[in-house]
Each structure stands twice: as C-alpha cells, then as structure tokens.
C-alpha cells in the first residue's frame, strides 16, 4: 500500500518554482483535514508563496480520510460475480491488475497539478503506474463500482452499472474541491453483464484526448489524468461484422466531481427503493448543488430545475462546437450536466444537422441535430424517476419546468452563436442571421469549425469585397452559394449597430470563441493507428495542440489540423465496440 516513512518533501511552488521545504513525514502521510487546513492557512498568509501545495511523491498524497461517499449504502456481498444488486448505491470491488507489463503512455499535467495537487514528476514513478493501472490501491479506500440503470435507445434496460470502471479514490484538493477518480477498463465488476471489464487502446486514446480537448474548449466535462497500455489480449469485434480481432487492454484514469447519472436515480425509482432514492437525491443536492437549501421542502423541484437548465446549457455548448456525443442514453447523462462516457462521439465537419457519429446508429436517434430532443427525453425520464419524491403540486410545476426546456435551449444556443459571430447586444433578427448562415453551410457542405474560424480571421473590408484570401478554404466553400454575398451584407450591417466596436476587437473576440482545432475523427484515427504501432507521438502532439485550440500553432498547421480532412477520412467509420 502506498504508505511510507520516507522523508517527505513538499514543494511550495513559488512563481520561480524554486522554494522547497522539507516536512516531517508523519504530518503528510494521511494528513487529517484539520492539519491540511492549518497548512493552507499558513500558505495563504505568506507573502512569498503562491497558494499551492503540490506533492512530488504519491507516498505523500492521501485520499480524503472522511470520505463522504461512505454515507451511502454499499452492497454487503463482497464476492465479485455478476448479479442483481438491491438497496445499494455501490459494490465494493477491486480492479483486476493486468497480467502483462503496463506502461504509461500519456498523462495530463494540468489534471495532476491543477486538480490532484501532484507534481507531474510523480507520473514517472512506479507507484503512480501501479495506482493508475489498477494494480495497487490507496490504503484506507476500498474501490467501488456504482449501481445504476438507464434507458438505452429509448428502452428501459434495467440494471446496468459500472461494468468496467472502478472508483479508486476521492480527493479533496488544496482549493477544497472534491474529485472522484475512476479507472475505466480496469476489469470485471458485479455489473459487467457479458463484458470482460476491459477497454481497448483505440477507445481509450479517444476518450483521453477528447475529454481534455472538451475542457479546453470550455465545455463542462469529465477529465482524463492518465492513459496506461498493457499487452493483455482483449478480443473485439470492432465493427460488429463477425471479425474478431485481438487488441490490447488499456485503462484511463478519469476524474469528475461526481459520476452520478440520470440512470443512478432511475435505478432506485424503478425498483421501488424510494427511501434510498430520497437519500441519494439529498446527498447529491448537499454535495453538488450548494445553492439549494437542503431543508427546503421544494428542494427536489429546485434540483430538477437546475438540471434542466444546465442540460440545456450543455447541449447548446456541444452544438456550438459541432460535437455529437453519439450515445445519449440516460445512463450516459450526468446529473451534474458534464460530458461523460466518450464513446462513438464525433465533431461534425461539413455542416449537416443529420450528422451521426456512430455508424451503426441507423435510425439516427443520436444525430447531432437531435441532441436537444434527446436531452429533453432524458430529462423527462429524470422527472419520472423523481416523481415519488414530489407532491401533486410539485409534479405540475416540474412538468412546467420541463416544458420550458426548448426555450432555455434556444436562448442559450442563440447566445452562443451570437458570440461565435462576434455580435454585441441582441437584436431580434439575430437568430435568423445565424440560421441563414447555417443554411448556407448546409447547402454547400462547408466545414463548420473552419467557416466560423475564418469569419473570425477575415477582415470586414475583405468580407465586404468578398475578396477571400486564398487559404481560407472553408469560406471559399461557402462562397459558392449565390446567397453568401447577401448574407455578408446583412452581417456587416448588423455589426455596424455597434459603432464603438472595432474590427480588430471583433476578430479578437471571435478568435477566442471559435476554435481553430478540434479533434476531428481523422486526427484521432491517425493518432490511434500510430499508437497501435507503439508510436505515441501524435497522441502527445494532439494533447499539446488541443490545450490551446484557439491559438494558431505551427506544428498543428504543419500537421494539417486546420485543413480540409484528407481523402481517406471520408471512408472512416467510428468503431463501436470499445
Ligand atoms: C431553508 O429552508 C428552511 C425550511 O423552509 C427555512 O426555515 C430556512 O430559513 C431556509 N434557509 C435559508 C438559508 O434560506
Ligand atoms: C454509455 O451507454 C452505453 C449504453 O447505454 C454503455 O454501453 C456505455 O458503456 C456507455 N458509454 C461509454 C462510452 O461509457
Ligand atoms: C451505435 O448504434 C447502434 C444501433 O442503435 C447500437 O446498437 C450501438 O450500441 C451504438 N454504439 C454504441 C457504442 O453505443
């Protein structure tokens, strides 16, 4: 276990990163909150130090001693076999270590330092590798798999649960934020059903890269701390065509404030476990919705209405970057309205409201243009799950809240696209201006990301003359439309309503809103193909580039990340089995 009497060194990072202190180890190994509190106090009151407390060895790092999740019931059965679980939120179950050697192929410095108070040098230690590959756990914390249910593709699927994920720690960082650390691909649990509990390299690379990329795009999301690769054989039928192939098992350490989903509450409601349902809802409100009064008799209604508006916000944000989640089942929808469970997601390239990232989703249930509808469907399932906790009047009010979802969504959507166009203030014709631009894109198949980006980069003078620079390829696509010049004039007129605004300011504003780089499928695929040959250079390049998606970067340009997708990408299918 990760405990030691070694001499501990805690670095107090100053701006110059030079000022290190040695501490007595017994203070640091398993520190109590109160001790950490006084340490924080000392730090915050020192003029010399930045407010940072970062440890340079995992031995010094400790999960919170009083874990709040301990307030929730855990399945008394300790054996690890697939079963129906009752009256519990979690099951105790350890990750299954890989039998082959593992290697750390990528990690996020920002997650380690920013969320987990770990100096990135820790990532190179063997303790860390063992921790993030599931072969060693932190003493005092028994890993957990969560029991939940869900509606999948419109049908109640019964008990699902973490079938290959383990919550391996919760951590309260130096800012007092509580983070839940979850391994994905770490072996079987009581919820594995027919699965083997593993995840393969390609799906793990995609999750690792995309969750971090979404964060830097400013979209609420789970984070990814590390990516570990093993040589354990995992058998997958990648395209469900009977072609089973041997792949290698990988595991991602994912981090979120909470992993509870709509399906977490549906499970309890559907099995009539109402007192546990109430307990879990109260727990979630207390831990994650600080603005709601925990003794208010209308708190569940307040909770529901917060989830409704945050979900509207999340989906509008997805749309603003052309992100299609791919599997919007109620068990993949977070109660904190963060993006979770990256599977067959995709960023739309040529604008198409019917864009479907999961190529086996023949019905197009989760096409990009249907995400808001599906969000509302999922919120309705949430409301049904909460019904046992609401009286008749509250049920009526909650239905009215749900009915307000389309308006919340459209107003958020309009706000986001208004800022994508650099428009200040609001004007009743804005939605029409936005919609007609999207129509032009749809008709011409112009690239969504780069059309907005190049509108941010072009000067108004150039636009007025429609003298589009040679390399503004997406605007050349859209300019093939006979109505583009009329649209441009309307746009220029709208901008003139703010005479104090300058063109330089507009471009600045728009370049901070419209990314130059998103994780296009071909980019992820190219990184995956190299990774399968043990070349992780492109994983790392993408990781670096996507940290600053709004800034033009030389390596990204050289790699073609702001160019039209290469020809071979048109034949790409997103692999569904993961
Ligand atoms: C919280 O709700 C209770 C019950 O309605 C009320 O007595 C209390 O004043 C409220 N607290 C705050 C801070 O509003
Ligand atoms: C999301 O839900 C699907 C089915 O509902 C489940 O099989 C899958 O594990 C979840 N997706 C991911 C990528 O975790
Ligand atoms: C993709 O869609 C198909 C058809 O609806 C579905 O069976 C499959 O589970 C989806 N893939 C994922 C990863 O959810």
Atom of ligand 2 nearest to the CA of 152: 5
Which range is least confidently modeled, 145-159, 232-246, 451-465, 561-575?
561-575
Residue 6 confidence (pLDDT) above 60: no
The pTM of the full predicted model, rounded to 2 decimals, is: 0.90
pLDDT tens for residues 131-152?
Answer: 999 999 887 788 999 999 999 9
More confident residue, 60 or 38: 60
341 pocket-lining for ligand 2 (C-beta < 6 Å): yes
Atom of ligand 2 nearest to the CA of 150: 5
H/E segment holding residue 286: helix 274-288
| Length of the chain counted residue by residue | 578
326 pocket-lining for ligand 2 (C-beta < 6 Å): no
Asked whether the beta carbons of 381 and 266 are under 8 A apart, the reply is: yes
Residue 11 confidence (pLDDT) above 80: no
Which range is least confidently modeled, 285-289, 320-324, 357-361, 441-445?
357-361
296 pocket-lining for ligand 1 (C-beta < 6 Å): yes
Atom 4, ligand 2: residue with shortest CA distance: 152
381 C-alpha to ligand 2 centroid (Å): 17
Mean predicted confidence (pLDDT) in 303-310: 98
Tokens of 129: 């590798």
Residues 6+ apart with CB under 8 A from 492: 460, 463, 464
What is the reported pLDDT for 569? Answer: 84
358 pocket-lining for ligand 2 (C-beta < 6 Å): no
Which ligand number lies closest to the CA of residue 367?
A: 3
295 pocket-lining for ligand 1 (C-beta < 6 Å): yes
Place of tokens 């990232």: 357
Q: Between helices 503-513 and 405-420, what is the axis angle to 10°?
A: 130
Residues marked active site are found at: 331
Confidence of residue 50 (pLDDT cuts 50, 70, 90): very low
Report the mean per-residue pLDDT for the chain.
89
Which range is least confidently modeled, 49-58, 271-280, 353-362?
49-58
Q: What are the φ/ψ torsions at residue 399 (nearest 5 degrees)?
A: -65, -40
Residue 7 confidence (pLDDT) above 70: no
pLDDT tens for residues 473-521?
Answer: 999 999 999 999 999 999 999 999 999 999 999 999 999 999 999 999 9
Residues having CB closer than 6 A to ligand 3 are: 153, 327, 343-344, 358, 360-361, 576
Using most ligand atoms within 8 A of CB, pick from 155, 340, 361 the residue to mutate for ligand 3. Answer: 361
Asked whether the beta carbons of 326 and 357 are under 8 A apart, the reply is: yes
Residue 564 confidence (pLDDT) above 60: yes
Which range is least confidently modeled, 50-64, 69-83, 291-305, 397-411?
50-64
What is the reported pLDDT for 58? Answer: 83
What is the reported pLDDT for 20? Answer: 26
Mind spelling out the 3-state secondary structure of 241-259?
CCCEEEEEEEEEEEEECCC
540 C-alpha to ligand 3 centroid (Å): 29
Which range is least confidently modeled, 10-24, 186-200, 366-380?
10-24
Mean predicted confidence (pLDDT) in 212-239: 96
291 pocket-lining for ligand 1 (C-beta < 6 Å): no
What is the reported pLDDT for 59? Answer: 79
List of long-range contacts for 24-31, beta carbons under 8 Å, 24+ apart: 25/60, 28/55, 28/60, 28/62, 29/3, 29/4, 29/5, 29/59, 29/60, 29/62, 30/3, 30/62, 30/65, 30/140, 31/62
326 C-alpha to ligand 2 centroid (Å): 10
341 C-alpha to ligand 2 centroid (Å): 6
Extended beta strands in 325-407, E state: 346-347
What is the reported pLDDT for 43? Answer: 36
Residue 2 confidence (pLDDT) above 50: no
547 C-alpha to ligand 2 centroid (Å): 26
**Reduced to 3 states, what is the DSSP secondary structure of residue 339?**
strand
More confident residue, 174 or 304: 304
Using most ligand atoms within 8 A of CB, pick from 328, 330, 331 the residue to mutate for ligand 2. Answer: 331
Tokens of 292: 């709601």
Atom 5, ligand 1: residue with shortest CA distance: 296
Atom 9, ligand 2: residue with shortest CA distance: 341
Asked whether the beta carbons of 200 and 236 are under 8 A apart, the reply is: yes
Gap between the Cα atoms of 44 and 48, Å rounded? 9
Gap between the Cα atoms of 408 and 306, Å rounded? 11
Report percent pLDDT > 90 for the chain. 81
What is the reported pLDDT for 14? Answer: 25
What is the reported pLDDT for 576? Answer: 63
Mean predicted confidence (pLDDT) in 405-414: 97
Residue 19 confidence (pLDDT) above 80: no
Confidence of residue 575 (pLDDT cuts 50, 70, 90): low
Mean predicted confidence (pLDDT) in 187-212: 97
What is the reported pLDDT for 32? Answer: 35
Question: Angle at Cα 294 formed by Cα 288 and Cα 295, nearest 5°?
Answer: 175
H/E segment holding residue 316: helix 299-320
Mean predicted confidence (pLDDT) in 435-456: 97
Place of tokens 């072969």: 135
Gap between the Cα atoms of 225 and 123, Å rounded? 10
For residue 414, how far is the Cα from the chain centroid? 23
478 C-alpha to ligand 2 centroid (Å): 36
298 C-alpha to ligand 1 centroid (Å): 11
152 pocket-lining for ligand 2 (C-beta < 6 Å): yes
Asked whether the beta carbons of 256 and 337 are under 8 A apart, the reply is: no
Question: Could you state, in order of their start, the residue ranges of all structural domains in the chain?
Answer: 33-262, 284-414, 423-511, 521-571
Which ligand number lies closest to the CA of residue 333?
A: 2
Confidence of residue 25 (pLDDT cuts 50, 70, 90): very low
Mean predicted confidence (pLDDT) in 151-158: 95
Mean predicted confidence (pLDDT) in 390-402: 98
């Amino acid at each position: 276990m990760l405990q030691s009497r070694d001499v501990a060194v805690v670095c107090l990072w100053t701006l110059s990163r030079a000022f290190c202190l040695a501490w007595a180890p017994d203070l640091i190994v398993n520190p109590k909150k109160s001790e950490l509190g006084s340490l924080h106090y000392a730090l915050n009151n020192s003029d010399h130090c930045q407010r940072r407390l970062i440890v340079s060895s995992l031995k010094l790092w400790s999960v919170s001693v009083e874990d709040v999740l301990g307030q929730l019931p855990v399945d008394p059965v300790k054996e690890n076999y697939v079963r129906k679980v009752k009256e519990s939120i979690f099951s105790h179950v350890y990750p299954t270590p890989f039998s082959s050697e593992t290697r750390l192929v990528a990690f996020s410095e920002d997650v380690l330092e920013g969320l987990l108070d770990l100096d990135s040098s820790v990532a190179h230690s063997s303790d860390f590798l063992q921790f993030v590959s599931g072969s060693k756990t932190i003493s005092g914390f028994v890993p957990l798999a969560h029991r939940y249910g869900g509606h999948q593709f419109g049908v109640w699927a019964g008990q699902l649960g973490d079938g290959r994920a383990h919550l391996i720690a919760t951590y309260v960082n130096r800012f007092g934020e509580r983070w839940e650390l979850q391994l994905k691909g770490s072996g079987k649990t009581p919820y594995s059903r027919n699965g083997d509990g593993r995840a393969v390299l390609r799906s793990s690379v995609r999750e690792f890269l995309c969750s971090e990329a979404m964060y830097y795009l400013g979209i609420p999301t789970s984070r990814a701390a590390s990516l570990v690769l093993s040589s354990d054989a995992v058998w997958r039928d990648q395209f469900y065509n009977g072609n089973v192939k041997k792949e290698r098992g990988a595991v991602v350490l994912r981090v979120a404030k909470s992993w509870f989903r709509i399906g977490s509450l549906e499970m309890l409601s559907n099995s009539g476990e109402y007192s546990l349902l109430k307990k879990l809802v109260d727990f979630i409100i207390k831990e994650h919705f600080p603005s709601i009064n925990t003794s208010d008799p209308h708190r569940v209604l307040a909770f529901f209405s917060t989830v409704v508006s945050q979900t509207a916000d999340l989906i509008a944000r997805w749309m603003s970057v052309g992100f299609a989640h791919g599997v919007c089942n109620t068990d993949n929808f977070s109660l904190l309205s963060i993006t979770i469970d990256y599977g067959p997601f995709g960023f739309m390239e040529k604008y198409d409201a019917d864009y479907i990232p999961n190529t086996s989703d023949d019905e197009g249930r989760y096409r990009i243009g249907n995400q808001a509808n599906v969000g509302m469907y999922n919120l309705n399932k949430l409301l049904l799950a909460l019904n046992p906790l609401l009286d008749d009047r509250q049920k009526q009010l909650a239905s009215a809240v749900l009915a307000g979802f389309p308006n919340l969504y459209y107003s958020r959507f309009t706000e986001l696209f208004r800022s994508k166009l650099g428009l200040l203030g609001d004007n009743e014709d804005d939605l029409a201006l936005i919609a007609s631009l999207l129509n032009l894109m749809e008709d011409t198949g112009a690239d969504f990301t780069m059309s907005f980006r190049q509108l941010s980069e072009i000067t108004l003078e150039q636009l007025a003359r429609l003298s589009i620079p040679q390399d503004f390829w997406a605007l050349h696509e859209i300019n093939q439309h006979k109505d583009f010049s009329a649209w441009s004039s309307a746009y220029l007129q709208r901008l003139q309503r703010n005479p104090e605004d300058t063109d330089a300011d507009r471009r600045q504003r728009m370049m901070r809103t419209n990314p130059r780089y998103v994780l296009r499928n071909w980019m992820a695929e190219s990184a995956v193909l190299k990774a399968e040959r043990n070349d992780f250079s492109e994983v790392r390049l993408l990781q670096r580039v996507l940290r600053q998606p709004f800034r033009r970067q030389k390596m990204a340009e050289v790699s073609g990340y702001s160019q039209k997708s290469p020809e071979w990408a048109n034949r790409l299918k997103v692999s569904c089995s993961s």
